[in-house]
Amino acid sequence: MISARGLRARIGASEVLRGIDVEVARGEVLAVLGANGAGKTSLLRTLSNLLTAHAGEVVFDGRSTRGRSVHDLARNGLVHVPQGRQIIPGLSVLDNLMIGARQCRDLSEDEREAMLEREFERFPVLRERWSVPGGSLSGGEQQMLAVSRGLMMRPRVLMLDEPSLGLAPQVVRLILGTLRSLAECGLAVILVEQAATLALAHCDHAMVLRNGECVLRGPAASLRGSQAVVDSYLS
């Protein structure tokens, strides 16, 4: 569903990605791990075209993303839930939920209603507090809102940037738990996480980045609990 070859990107004068390959098919969950500053966020920003790669190619849904606008990709199913969630504090929970869906013009109103209902079931707290301004939700609630907001855009590829940031472990497990069910209904998921152990418990494949390069790659089973992963973080 989405693949990239030899991605290189720069922020200002410093090189943040040094030749990264990514491959995620429908129904798969890929975890991208690594300590902070390893280039995980830059990878997602390059895939969603917020950051322009100066080398390498990204292919989404069979078409190259070169030169396509961020909002065009987002409307066509390449949904990137950014780091820090970016919930619009002044808008109500419902408005936050609907703002993405409303940009996808090919969605009919009742399709949106159906998706909304599905998201309310997925995260009931959103239904209870639908009219409350987004800014007043707790960290965990905001993360759920951010994920649901992405799902409301009927994504084909869902990219999550560190959902665990600042959340209690059981809340993170609740959120990561939904990934499996999403993958089963045909979604390709890229989960960027620093919390390696948690992520490895909820994905099929994983890759570990360090200083903009991929140092480890393989099926999740082989990486779970491996010392190589710990060393890539802390040595």
DSSP β-bridge partners for residue 76: none
Diameter of the chain measured on Cα atoms: 53
Specify the DSSP element, H or E, that contains 228. helix 227-234
Choice between 1 and 199, CB closer to another protein: 199
Choice between 4 and 146, CB closer to another protein: 146
The whole-angstrom separation of Cα 219 and Cα 203 is: 9
Cβ–Cβ under 8 Å, residues 143 and 85 = yes
112 in contact with another protein (CB under 8 A)? no
8 in contact with another protein (CB under 8 A)? no
- Looking at 59, 173, 215, 217, which residue binds another protein (CB under 8 A)? 173
132 in contact with another protein (CB under 8 A)? no
Question: Which tokens belong to 112?
Answer: 């949106």
Beta strands 63-64 and 55-60 are antiparallel
Choice between 4 and 172, CB closer to another protein: 172
Residue 222 contacts by C-beta under 8 Å, 6 or more apart in sequence?
none
- Please give the residue ranges that form the binding site for another protein (CB under 8 A): 11-16, 35-38, 48, 50, 69-71, 74-75, 79-83, 86, 88-91, 95, 99-100, 102-104, 133, 135, 139, 149, 153, 162, 164-166, 169, 172-173, 177, 180, 193-199, 201-202, 211, 221, 224-225, 229-230, 233-235
